[in-house]
Each structure stands twice: as C-alpha cells, then as structure tokens.
C-alpha cells in the first residue's frame, strides 16, 4: 500500500454518527491512517443532538443496529421495540468503546472549509478555530438532518423566556411542569415532543402550519427472553432487510390496484396495517397509493376517519387532518396517543393557516390574531435537509469550483456518493442516495466506498472522480425513478423545500426514489465494472 508521509491522514471522515462510526470501522479494516472529526461533544450524530423529550426511532430497533458483528449483536440488548434516544446514544457509545474507536475521533471540532488541492491530490480541511487537517480521501458522514432551521420571522432573538430547537436540547433539560409552553411545528419531531410533554406542562399551545398524517407506533418493551429470541433471528431479520425495497422488515406491498380491491377487503387490510407497529402502512400497502391520486385519497380518508374517532372536538379533528397532501407523500411520523393530546383541557391548537405567525416577541408568539405569552418556546421546525450540511462547509473542488454554487439549482452527483469536480470525496447519505431504513443504507454505502478506496490503493490511483457523462446519466436515472410519484408535488424536506431558507423554495429531486434494491443493483454494477467510465488517475 501507498504511504503518504506528507499528508496528515489517508482518510478523514467528517461526522461521528452512525455513518462516521461505520466508516471508521471499515477504514481500520483497510489499514489506512484515518481520523474522524466531529462537531459535537460526544459521538452518536443524530442520536447525540436530538435529545428532546420523546425522541425515539420510528424504525424497528432490531433492524436499526449495525449488522456487521455477531459479537456486537449478541452483546447489545435493545430495551424497546422502537428505541428511545438515550438508549440509542448509549448504543453509539457502546460501539465506540467495544471497537476502541475513540482514539481516532476528535470531538468538538466543527469543519467550516474543505478544499481539494489538485497538485497534491489531497483534501485540506479547516475547523472553525483554524485547525487544519490534510488527507488523500474525504468521507462526508454529516447526516441528512443536521442543519437546524428556525422560523424566518422577526424577533426570534427577542424572546425573554427559554427557547430551544429540538435538535439543540440542553443537557440540563428544562423543567416544563406547570409552565406555559409553545411548540412550533408538527413534523415527526413535533409530534414526538408534543405527545411526551403534554401531560407535564401547565399549558401547551401547538402552533401548527400544516398538519401531518400519522399512525400509532405501537412501541413495546423488550424482555430478556424476547431479546434472546431476537438474537437467534438476527440473520433472518437482516436478510429480510436486504430483500425489501426500503430495507425495513416490512414487505414491499400489494401490487393490486387499490380501487379494484373490494371495499371491505381493502379496509380490513388497512385496519391490520394501522394496528401493526411501524411504517407498514406506507411500505406494505397497495403500491399504487404512491402514484395514484384516487388510491391515495381512499387511504387518506381511512386515516382521516381514525383521527375523527380519536379527537373529541370535531372542529379540532378537522384541523388535524391534512388537506394539502396525501398519506405517505411526506415522511410519515408515527405517534403514541398524539391525537388524544388534543382532548386535554391544558392543550390548545393554534392553526397558523387561520392566524399566520407574525413574529416572536419578548413575551411569546404573535399571530395575526393576538400575542400568546409563554415561559418556554420549543422550535420543532426541522432542518435544512440533506444539502444543508454541505452548504454549511465551504467545499472547494478543482479549478475553484464551489459546491454551494454548483448545487444551487439542486444537487448533481454520481450514485449519490461521488461528485464531479470534487475528486476523492465520498458521501454517506448524501443527496440522490437511497435512504429507507438508514443504517442498512449506511452499511451499504460505506462498504461500497471502502471497496473503491481499496481498489485505488491497490492500483496506486490517487484521483477518483465521476465524469460529466456519468453525472448526467445518473441524474437522468434519478429523475426517471421519481416519475409519477405523488411525493414530488408536495413541499417537504424530501423535495428540498424549507420555507425558512431563502434558497430552498423550489421543489427538486433530493433523494433516490427507485428503491434500495434498484439503487444497489446499479452501484454493484459500477463496482463490478471496475468503476467503468470514472476518472481514475
């Protein structure tokens, strides 16, 4: 293998979440000098930052952990079928201790600039305090949902009480009991927060701009006996994840047309899916709900009736039923007694469609109707997703190309992993990558990148980059995969829209939507062809 005495490292990994942790493990296997640089004070990524009340998986715990080590699978016990954040953070730390990863991880270091130098074929990174690092290869493992966004209304800094974005929850968690608390936002995060704090707070006001479809999570505790059985089933569980198009344990769904299935049979099927834990209702449903408006409308009406049956006040129930999008066209939040929260006397729903948000004031939140006063404001307002983490770093490629500029109209990648003009940079969970059950996708992408780096090292290749032709071919494929999906016509982080960020007002294709099986087949083919067509110098 080639040694690079002039460079600090052969590989630098940005981020110590699940992507970064697994990248480090795989790079160790290759025997390269590697360093992980992490902005947070602890490892865990998403599961370190998102410590708001009620944060937990909507993915089955048993299919979420790393699958690469039987020893790890045997030693770790999941406590709940959908793991709460503190336990998952513990898991990330457990993995780091078990594989002695910490000696290669530098915490509390936020990278703000990354430049490729063509002369040395290397990356130079700079942290916000001016520390620099050089490496041949760069792996970005920054997470798809890391750049928190606050409402773009005046006064956010004026509020005199306590205010937190859910992903910046303080270590000394504030005492919410008997307080007047506002939550802005009703996405997956808002729903988890609201249902968890509603019974503790004095008064809770939920500021809802658009409601979301949601169904019960059905979380349960896992006993030691059950865990022992799960361990025996792990091979089967991970095999199943390899066969489904979202890498979950839920099946790929029914290919019959929804409207052609008799109403009684259809609704019995939906009752079953509604009563099941997890995402089955979008993953294992009739497949045409994702493309056919009528089919989607029928399912949406079924869920709307569930909301009506759970919320006592019919007027409030109607406000909680989405009108601007159908079930499964945005990321479906899963809930635990969320809708019943609105039956509590201490909970108020402020519908921002009736009374839009005007500003944040010293005392609280002003809508077009009035000023609402609070002790605490919780911003569950989401993220500048997927490309936000890239925009936050000044990435400069060959000939001074800035990634921020290049991706202004939407990202261009090859396989969602590499980028033209940005040689030797590999993205884990970047744009145009298949996501689904994310750790499964992480393991795939990291293994793919690791094989490519091994390939280059064996052959003395020190410059890897996709050509414009490959970039175009992939872009066309990504677009073709997305044709006809109802999700394309909905504003959400999945279509790249964030109304709080000036540059994110237009819908784009942000994710790979052809399914994980097709994604992998494509990437496998590229690897088998020895990366045919790529610039390998």
Cβ distance to ligand NA7 smaller for residue 120 or 500: 500
User: Does 424 interact with ligand NA7 (rule: CB under 6 A)?
Assistant: no
Cβ distance to ligand NA7 smaller for residue 19 or 186: 186
DSSP SS3 for 283: helix
Cβ distance to ligand NA7 smaller for residue 396 or 494: 494
CB of 367 to ligand NA7, least distance (A): 10
CA atoms lying within 13 Å on the CB side of residue 127: 17
Q: Are the C-beta atoms of residues 148 and 167 closer than 8 Å to each other?
A: yes
CB of 356 to ligand NA7, least distance (A): 8
CB of 207 to ligand NA7, least distance (A): 6
Cβ distance to ligand NA7 smaller for residue 470 or 494: 494
Cβ distance to ligand NA7 smaller for residue 9 or 207: 207
Q: Are the C-beta atoms of residues 65 and 73 closer than 8 Å to each other?
A: yes
Q: How far apart are the first and last CA of the chain?
A: 16
Phi-psi region of 382 (alpha: psi -120 to 50; beta: other; left: phi over 0): left
Q: In terms of Cα–Cα distance, which of 62, 38, 15 is closest to 430?
A: 15
CB of 186 to ligand NA7, least distance (A): 4
Structure-block tokens of residue 375: 């002790």
- Cα(205)–Cα(190) distance, rounded to whole angstroms? 12
Q: How many residues does the chain have?
A: 537
Q: Are the C-beta atoms of residues 356 and 499 closer than 8 Å to each other?
A: no
- The DSSP element (H or E) to which 516 belongs, if any, is helix 516-528
Would you give the binding string for ligand NA7 spanning residues 302-341, x where CB under 6 A is met?
-----------------------------x----------
CB of 208 to ligand NA7, least distance (A): 7
- Cα(385)–Cα(190) distance, rounded to whole angstroms? 16
CB of 536 to ligand NA7, least distance (A): 35
Q: Are the C-beta atoms of residues 63 and 239 closer than 8 Å to each other?
A: no
Q: Which 383-402 residues touch ligand NA7, going by CB under 6 A?
A: 383
Would you give the binding string for ligand NA7 spanning residues 443-482, x where CB under 6 A is met?
----------------------------------------
Cβ distance to ligand NA7 smaller for residue 112 or 500: 500
Binding residues for ligand NA7, rule CB under 6 A, total 22
CB of 350 to ligand NA7, least distance (A): 10
Angle between helix 224-243 and helix 438-459 axes, rounded to 10 deg: 60
Cβ distance to ligand NA7 smaller for residue 382 or 423: 382
Where do we find the tokens 């002039």? 6
User: Does 493 interact with ligand NA7 (rule: CB under 6 A)?
Assistant: yes
The CA angle 378-381-384, to the nearest 5 degrees, is 140
User: Does 151 interact with ligand NA7 (rule: CB under 6 A)?
Assistant: yes
CB of 425 to ligand NA7, least distance (A): 25
Region of 122-130, 388-396, 492-500, 516-524 interacting with ligand NA7 (CB under 6 A): 492-500
Q: Which 51-70 residues touch ligand NA7, going by CB under 6 A?
A: none
Would you give the binding string for ligand NA7 spanning residues 181-210, x where CB under 6 A is met?
---xxxxxxx----------------x-xx
Q: What is the distance of C-alpha 396 from the center of its chain?
A: 25
Q: Are the C-beta atoms of residues 403 and 390 closer than 8 Å to each other?
A: yes
Please state, as a whole number, how many other Cβ atoms lie within 10 Å of the Cβ of residue 479: 13
Cβ distance to ligand NA7 smaller for residue 253 or 436: 436
Q: Which 245-304 residues touch ligand NA7, going by CB under 6 A?
A: none
Provide the sign of the torsion angle of the four alpha carbons 360, 146, 59, 50, taken in this order.
Answer: negative
Would you give the binding string for ligand NA7 spanning residues 20-39, x where CB under 6 A is met?
--------------------
DSSP SS3 for 206: strand
DSSP string, 41-96: SSS-THHHH--STT-B-SS-GGGTS--S-HHHHHH---SBSS-BHHHHHHHHHHHH
Where do we find the tokens 């469609």? 353
Residue of 261, 316, 357, 485 interacting with ligand NA7 (CB under 6 A): 357
Would you give the binding string for ligand NA7 spanning residues 111-150, x where CB under 6 A is met?
----------------------------------x-----
Structure-block tokens of residue 195: 């249902």
- Cα(93)–Cα(173) distance, rounded to whole angstroms? 21
CB of 93 to ligand NA7, least distance (A): 21
CB of 115 to ligand NA7, least distance (A): 31
Cβ distance to ligand NA7 smaller for residue 376 or 380: 380
By CB under 6 A, name the binding residues for ligand NA7: 145, 151, 184-190, 207, 209-210, 331, 352, 357, 380-383, 493, 499-500
């Amino acid at each position: 293998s080639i040694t690079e005495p002039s460079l600090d490292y052969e590989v630098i990994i940005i981020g110590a979440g699940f992507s970064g942790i697994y990248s480090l493990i795989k790079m160790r296997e290759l025997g390269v000098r590697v360093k992980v640089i992490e902005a947070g004070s602890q490892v865990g990524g998403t599961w370190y930052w998102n410590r708001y009340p009620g944060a937990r998986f909507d993915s089955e715990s048993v299919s979420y952990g790393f699958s690469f080590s039987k020893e790890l699978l045997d030693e770790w016990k999941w406590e709940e079928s959908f793991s709460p954040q503190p336990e998952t953070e513990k898991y990330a730390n457990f993995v780091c201790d078990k594989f002695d990863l910490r000696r290669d991880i530098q915490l509390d270091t936020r990278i703000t600039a990354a430049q490729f130098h063509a002369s040395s074929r290397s990356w130079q990174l700079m942290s916000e305090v001016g520390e620099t690092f050089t490496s041949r290869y760069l792996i970005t493992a920054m997470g798809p949902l890391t750049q928190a966004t606050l409402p773009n209304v005046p006064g956010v800094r004026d509020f005199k009480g306590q205010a937190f974005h859910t992903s910046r929850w303080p270590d000394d968690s504030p005492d919410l009991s008997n307080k007047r608390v506002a939550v802005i936002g009703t996405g997956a995060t808002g729903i988890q927060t609201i249902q968890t704090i509603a019974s503790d707070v004095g008064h809770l006001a939920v500021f809802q701009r658009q409601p979301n479809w949601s169904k019960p999570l059905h979380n349960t505790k896992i006993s030691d006996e059950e865990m022992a059985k799960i361990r025996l089933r792990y091979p089967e569980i991970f095999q199943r994840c390899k066969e489904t198009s979202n890498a979950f344990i839920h099946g790929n769904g029914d290919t019959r047309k929804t409207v052609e299935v008799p109403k009684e049979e259809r609704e019995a099927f939906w009752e079953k899916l509604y009563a099941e834990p997890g995402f089955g209702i979008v993953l294992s449903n009739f497949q045409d709900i994702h493309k056919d408006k009528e089919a989607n409308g029928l399912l949406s009406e079924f869920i709307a009736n569930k909301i009506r049956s759970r919320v006592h006040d019919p007027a409030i129930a109607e406000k909680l039923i989405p009108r601007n999008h159908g079930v499964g066209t945005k990321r479906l939040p899963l809930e635990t007694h969320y809708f019943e929260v609105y039956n509590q006397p201490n909970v108020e729903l402020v519908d921002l469609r009736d009374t839009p948000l005007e500003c944040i004031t010293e005392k609280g939140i002003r809508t077009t109707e009035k000023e609402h006063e609070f002790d605490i404001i919780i911003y569950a307002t989401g993220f500048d997703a997927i490309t936000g983490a890239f925009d936050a770093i000044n990435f400069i490629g060959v000939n001074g190309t800035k990634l921020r500029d290049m991706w202004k109209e939407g990202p261009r990648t090859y396989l969602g992993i590499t980028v033209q003009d940005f040689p030797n940079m590999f993205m884990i969970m970047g744009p145009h990558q298949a996501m689904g059950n994310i750790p499964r996708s992480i393991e795939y992408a990291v293994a793919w990148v690791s094989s490519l780096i091994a390939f280059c090292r064996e052959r003395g290749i020190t410059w890897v980059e996709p050509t414009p032709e490959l970039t175009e071919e992939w872009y066309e494929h990504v677009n073709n995969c997305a044709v006809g999906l109802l999700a394309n016509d909905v504003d959400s982080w999945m279509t790249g829209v964030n109304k709080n960020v000036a540059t994110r007002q237009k819908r784009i294709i942000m994710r790979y939507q052809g399914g994980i099986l097709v994604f992998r087949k494509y990437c496998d083919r590229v690897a088998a062809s020895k990366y045919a067509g790529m610039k390998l110098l």
